[in-house]
Amino acid sequence: MNCTLNSPSIFFGKAFKISFFAFFLLIAGCKNDKKGKEKELVAHPNVLFISLDDMNDWIRPLAGSSQTITPNLDKFAENSVNFTKNYCPSPGCNPSRSAVLTGVHTYNSGMYSNYQDWRKVPKLSNTLTLGQYFNNNGYRTVGAGKIFHYQQVDTLGWDDYYPSIKKPMPDDPFPEKTPVNMKPFEHMYSMFDWSGLSVDDKDMGDYKTVDFISEQLGKEQDKPFFFAAGIYRPHLPWYVPQKYYDMFPLDEIELPNLMEGDTTDLGPFAKELISRGGNYHKHVTEADQWKKAIQGYLASVAFSDAMVGRLLEALEQSPYADNTIVVLWSDHGWQLGEKNHWRKFALWENVIRSVLMVKVPKHLEKMPNGSKNGVATTNLTSLMDIYPTLVDLCNLPDKEDMDGVSLRPILQDPEKEVKRPIITTYDYGSYSVRYQNWHLIDYIDGYSELYNLENDPEEWYNLDKVDSLLAVKSKLRSFIPADPVAFPESSLIPLGKHHIPPIRSKEHYESTERKQRMERFNGSK
């Protein structure tokens, strides 16, 4: 309909009435035409899906540390719903990401470890990924950077991918000589290192990822879109431009709070998690690298925050700022010496607690008022809730085979209490159960940890043996899956020297084969 209006000069009598009536119909037609287009946008909003890697709860919106500098994440928390007690399905990149992106939890799929190929897990072989589901339902799907685990990509879910679907991550610059700071020790992860670089932001892979998605946002789209940006930092190695290191003077770095004797009330498997891989904490402290390592992590967090800011700014300047849902998440947390433990691969609170912020625009068919932005919720939630939430908000057909729930009620009213247990697994047979203020960790070796996080946020006092809490422990344990899917041997990938073999069953954990392999990791030089 051509809605160009030419004002009439002067009308008299009947002619005026007829012309006025025609003028009214023309205006109404234009409005209806506009409403029709708006209704299409309202029914099927766009999605900007931002993934961070190894981002823990130190960022200011989660208040895990006062040292981080995250102005863009702070701003986004004020313009979204901040899920402050959100948890990952697994503290490993591959099982966490594959669970989030298929909607199937680890214990229902058998995808437990970084050392599996998720597409060779029988339960996931034909599962529609998040990208596929949106693509199959009329969305243009475009990705860049690390969304799935490195090269284990979803080749069917994307209309376009940068740099390419078989090479999902742009190259990063490295120092001329590595390692820079951390002298290698036996079984060490080779990327366990940190240094400032004499490069510009634009030389970094994450900058290129953000550039590509920003360019997509600047283009005219002929149908709703699902754009995914996988920002790799603060994943190791912590090689980022020097200016981010300069933000954190070494003499101002604070070490995490530790309690002497903290780990004495832990069982054998928990202690193995601390020392495995060559005992990182021992080598970091002996090399006097603890503050430098923390500086590297903080610098990498600040760099990734800057990349998030660039991406959100590109959205704001695009034609799609008012009809795009933004989901920002991290696959799991990270430890930097708490409980003498480094990296992920454990079930303590600041390893499994993960970033999740969601902004829903107004005038959506499913949420006319949009999300209640600027309000943090303390309800327990899971990264598993992302897939069903987006299916719900974007008016896609119901998908029954998902283990999370839609967060729409909490997005509408973040302060309304919703009680539910949240499960995280590590390998086969070890579980974290978060429920209300309680945290139960139940290990495959039969040992447990029980913490009241309201009174003991650092998880220093294991209450597992307190008789008066047996009923609490029993209730929490009742939430653990009674019949988890067995580890599918066909999905196991070849292991490198520094790789810890995934636990494949209770029998495998207790086997001579595993004990002999683990002996070379314990007490490494």
Q: Give the catalytic positions in this structure.
A: 93, 149
What HEC string does 454-517 produce? Answer: CCCCCCCCCCCCCHHHHHHHHHHHCCCCCCCCCCCHHHECCCCCCCCCCCCCHHHHHCHHHHHH
On the CB side of 111, how many CA atoms lie within 13 Å of its CA?
Answer: 29
290-316 vs 71-78: helix crossing angle, rounded to 10: 50
Say how far apart CA 341 and CA 321 lie, in whole Å. 41
The answer to whether the beta carbons of residues 506 and 429 sit under 8 Å apart is yes
Strand 194-197, strand 448-452: pairing: unpaired
The answer to whether the beta carbons of residues 131 and 103 sit under 8 Å apart is no
Say how far apart CA 514 and CA 510 lie, in whole Å. 7
- Beta-bridge mates of residue 375: 81
Say how far apart CA 366 and CA 348 lie, in whole Å. 36
In the structure encoding, which two tokens stand for residue 100, read together?
């989030």
The answer to whether the beta carbons of residues 322 and 43 sit under 8 Å apart is no
Cβ contacts of residue 472 below 8 Å, gap of 6+? Answer: 438, 450
The answer to whether the beta carbons of residues 295 and 18 sit under 8 Å apart is no
In the structure encoding, which two tokens stand for residue 300, read together?
């990498």
- Beta-bridge mates of residue 328: 50, 357
Say how far apart CA 118 and CA 44 lie, in whole Å. 30
CA distances for 492 relative to 136, 305, 489, angstroms? 30, 35, 6
